[in-house]
C-alpha cells in the first residue's frame, strides 16, 4: 500500500513537472534544466518535443522571461519568485530586480466563495455582519482578495479573504519544490553553499504564516501600537471581532497611491513631505522598533492630503534585534562618513567575519564598495545598493549571512525606488545620515549599557538564593567547630565580616536593578 502511494505521488509530481516544463519552454526558460543536472540528451529531446518560445519574449532578459513564466504558473511560483528576489547575494542584482517585478495579481474568485468563507469563520451570514458588502474586490492576489464593506455598527472596513483551496494547491507545489531540491542536492556542486532544501523549508514556513490572516492582523496591530499618536504615519486599526485565520478586517483608509505621482500633485499633496515621512517612518521602524514593513511596493503605500503615510498589507514583516540594529546603524554611519577601518572593525567585533580573515583586506574591499557607490552624484547614491555590494562579499570573506539584513536590503531598495519616483533629485544618504547619527547618539549607548546592566543584575539576583544557602552552610559548619578550637572564633569573625560584605554587594545590585527599572518606566 505504501509503495502504491509513493508511486502515485511521484507520478503526480512528474505530470506536474511536465506541465511546468511546457510553460517554461514557452518563455524560453529551459536553462533551468542545467541546474537540475539534466543530461544533454533529455534536454535535446525536450527542445524538440516542447513548444517553441513565444515571439513576444525575444529580446527580454533571462529574469524577465522567468518572471513571466512564474506569473503563469500561479500562486506558489509567484511567491517563490518573490522570495528569490530578496536574495541578490545568490542570484545577482539584475536577476533579483527582474523577479521583484512579479505582480502578485490573479483573477478574483467568486463572491459565493467569499460568503461561504465568512460564514464558516464567524458562523453568521454575511448580511448579519455587514450592512453592505461590495461584491467587486478592490484587489485580488495569489493568497487573498480584498473587499470594501460597512459593518452593522457603521464602520467602513476593508475585508481580506483567503483564496479558497490555496493551502492544498500550495502543499502540492511545495512537495514538488522539495523533490527538485533533493535532486539538486545530489547532483550539483553549488548545493552545499546554496542549501536549496533549507531555502524551500524556510519558504514553506513563511508562506504558511502568510496564509494565516490572524498572524497578519497581529503584525498590523503591533505596527499600529508602535506609531500610536504619530502625525506622519498611520496604520489602519484591526477589528479583531471580525478577524480569523481566513478573514482579516481592518479600518478602511482614504488616501492616494504613492505610485501615482500625478494624482498626488493634482490633489495638492506636498511631495517633499511624502518623501520625508516615508523615509523617516521606515528608518524609525528599523532602528527604534526593530520591526518593519517589508513589502513597500507602491500598491501598499498611500498618502493622505497632509502627506501622512498609510501602509496596507502586513503579510511580510521584518524584525531585527538590538545587536543587529546597533551593527547596522554603526555600519551605515561608518560607510557614510567613509571610515572603512571602522566598517571592518564592526564586522570583526560582531563576529560576522571569521578572525582568520585579513582585517586589512576586508577594509580595502569595503573601501572599493564605498567609493564606487558614494562617489556618484549625490542624488544617485543608493544605500540599498551599498548593502547589496557588501552582502556580495560574503562569499570572499566567509562572512556569516544575516537573513534579516537581506530582507532589509531588498526593502530598502524598493523604498528608495518609490521615493525617487516621487523626487528624482532626492539626496537620500543625507537624510539617512542625520536620522542614524541622532539615533546612535540618543539611544544606542544608553540602551545597550542599560540592557547589559539589567542582564548582569538579573544574573546576580538569580544567584542570591544559592549564595545565601552556601553562606548559611559555612556559618553552621564553623559554629559547630568553634567549641573544638577556640582559635576558630577569630576566623568566624573574619568570615562573617566578608560574608556581610558579599551580601551587601549583592543587595547593591538588586537596588541598582530596581532603580534602573524605575528610570526606564518613568522616562
DSSP 238: B
What is residue 470's predicted lDDT score, i.e. its pLDDT?
57
**R_g of the chain, CA atoms, integer Å:** 29
d(CA 154, CA 408): 39
What is residue 523's predicted lDDT score, i.e. its pLDDT?
46
**What is the full DSSP assignment across 243-270?**
--SSEEEEE----EETT-HHHHHHTT--
Assign residue 37 a region (left: φ > 0; alpha: ψ between -120 and 50; beta: otherwise).
Answer: left
What is residue 285's predicted lDDT score, i.e. its pLDDT?
94
Kindly provide the b/e burial profile for residues 226-248, where b requires at least 16 CB atoms within 10 angstroms of the residue's own CB.
bbeeeebbbbbebbeebbbebbb
At 419, list the grid cell: 521615493
What is residue 358's predicted lDDT score, i.e. its pLDDT?
93
d(CA 138, CA 122): 22
Q: Which spans in 27-87 are helix H?
A: 32-35, 40-49, 62-73, 75-84
pLDDT block averages, 10 residues each, the chain of length 523: 65 80 85 62 61 84 89 84 72 77 78 97 96 94 92 96 90 84 75 72 82 96 96 97 97 93 94 92 92 89 96 91 86 88 90 89 93 80 83 77 74 84 80 77 58 50 53 55 52 50 54 55 49
Give the length of the chain: 523
- Residue numbers annotated as active site: 295
Residues 6+ apart with CB under 8 A from 133: 126, 147, 149, 150, 159
d(CA 298, CA 310): 11
What is residue 249's predicted lDDT score, i.e. its pLDDT?
98
Q: Residue 109 in 3-state DSSP?
A: coil
3-state secondary structure 166-192: HHHHHHHHHHHHHHHHHHHHHHCCCHH
What is residue 512's predicted lDDT score, i.e. its pLDDT?
57
What is residue 446's predicted lDDT score, i.e. its pLDDT?
47
Q: Which of 368, 422, 424, 374 is nearest to 396 (CA)?
A: 368
What is residue 307's predicted lDDT score, i.e. its pLDDT?
95
Amino acid at each position: 500500500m505504501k509503495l502504491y502511494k509513493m508511486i502515485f505521488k511521484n507520478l503526480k509530481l512528474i505530470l506536474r513537472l511536465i506541465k511546468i516544463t511546457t510553460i517554461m519552454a514557452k518563455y524560453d526558460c529551459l536553462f533551468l534544466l542545467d541546474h537540475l543536472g539534466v543530461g544533454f540528451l533529455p534536454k535535446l529531446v525536450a527542445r524538440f518535443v516542447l513548444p517553441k518560445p513565444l515571439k513576444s519574449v525575444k529580446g527580454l532578459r533571462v529574469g524577465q522571461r522567468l518572471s513571466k513564466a512564474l506569473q503563469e504558473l500561479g500562486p506558489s511560483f509567484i511567491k517563490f519568485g518573490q522570495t528569490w528576489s530578496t536574495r541578490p547575494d545568490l542570484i545577482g542584482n539584475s536577476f533579483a530586480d527582474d523577479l521583484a517585478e512579479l505582480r502578485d495579481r490573479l483573477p478574483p474568485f467568486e463572491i459565493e466563495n467569499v460568503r461561504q468563507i465568512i460564514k464558516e469563520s464567524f458562523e453568521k451570514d454575511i448580511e448579519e455582519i455587514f450592512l453592505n458588502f461590495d461584491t467587486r474586490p478592490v484587489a485580488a492576489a495569489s493568497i487573498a482578495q480584498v473587499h470594501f464593506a460597512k459593518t452593522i455598527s457603521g464602520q467602513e472596513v476593508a475585508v481580506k479573504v483567503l483564496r479558497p483551496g490555496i493551502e492544498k494547491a500550495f502543499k502540492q507545489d511545495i512537495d514538488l519544490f522539495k523533490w527538485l531540491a533533493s535532486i539538486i542536492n545530489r547532483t550539483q556542486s553549488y548545493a552545499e553553499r546554496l542549501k536549496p532544501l533549507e531555502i524551500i523549508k524556510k519558504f514553506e514556513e513563511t508562506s504558511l504564516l502568510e496564509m494565516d490572516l490572524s498572524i497578519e492582523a497581529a503584525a498590523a496591530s503591533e505596527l499600529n501600537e508602535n506609531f500610536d499618536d504619530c502625525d506622519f504615519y498611520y496604520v489602519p486599526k484591526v477589528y479583531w471581532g471580525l478577524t480569523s485565520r481566513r478573514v482579516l478586517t481592518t479600518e478602511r483608509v482614504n488616501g492616494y497611491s504613492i505610485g501615482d505621482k500625478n494624482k498626488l500633485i493634482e490633489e495638492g499633496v506636498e511631495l517633499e513631505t511624502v518623501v520625508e515621512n516615508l523615509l523617516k517612518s521606515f528608518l524609525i521602524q528599523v532602528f527604534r522598533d526593530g520591526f518593519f514593513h517589508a513589502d513597500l511596493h507602491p500598491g501598499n503605500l498611500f498618502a493622505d492630503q497632509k502627506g501622512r503615510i498609510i501602509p496596507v498589507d502586513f503579510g511580510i514583516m521584518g524584525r531585527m534585534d538590538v545587536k543587529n540594529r546597533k551593527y547596522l546603524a554603526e555600519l551605515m554611519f561608518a560607510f557614510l562618513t567613509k571610515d572603512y577601518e571602522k566598517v571592518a572593525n564592526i564586522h570583526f567585533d560582531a563576529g560576522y567575519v571569521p578572525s582568520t580573515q585579513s582585517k586589512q583586506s576586508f577594509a580595502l574591499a569595503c573601501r572599493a564598495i564605498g567609493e564606487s557607490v558614494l562617489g556618484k552624484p549625490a542624488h544617485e547614491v543608493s544605500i540599498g545598493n551599498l548593502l547589496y555590494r557588501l552582502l556580495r562579499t560574503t562569499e570572499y570573506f566567509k562572512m556569516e549571512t544575516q537573513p534579516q539584513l537581506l530582507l532589509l536590503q531588498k526593502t530598502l531598495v524598493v523604498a528608495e525606488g518609490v521615493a525617487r519616483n516621487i523626487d528624482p533629485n532626492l539626496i537620500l544618504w543625507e537624510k539617512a545620515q542625520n536620522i542614524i547619527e541622532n539615533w546612535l547618539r540618543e539611544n544606542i549607548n544608553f540602551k545597550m549599557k542599560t540592557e547589559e546592566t539589567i542582564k548582569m543584575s538579573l544574573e546576580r539576583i538569580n544567584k542570591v538564593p544559592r549564595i545565601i544557602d552556601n553562606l548559611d552552610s559555612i556559618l553552621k559548619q564553623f559554629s559547630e567547630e568553634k567549641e573544638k578550637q577556640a582559635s576558630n572564633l577569630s576566623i568566624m569573625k573574619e568570615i562573617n565580616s566578608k560574608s556581610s560584605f558579599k551580601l551587601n554587594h549583592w543587595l547593591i545590585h538588586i537596588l541598582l536593578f530596581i532603580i534602573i527599572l524605575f528610570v526606564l518606566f518613568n522616562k
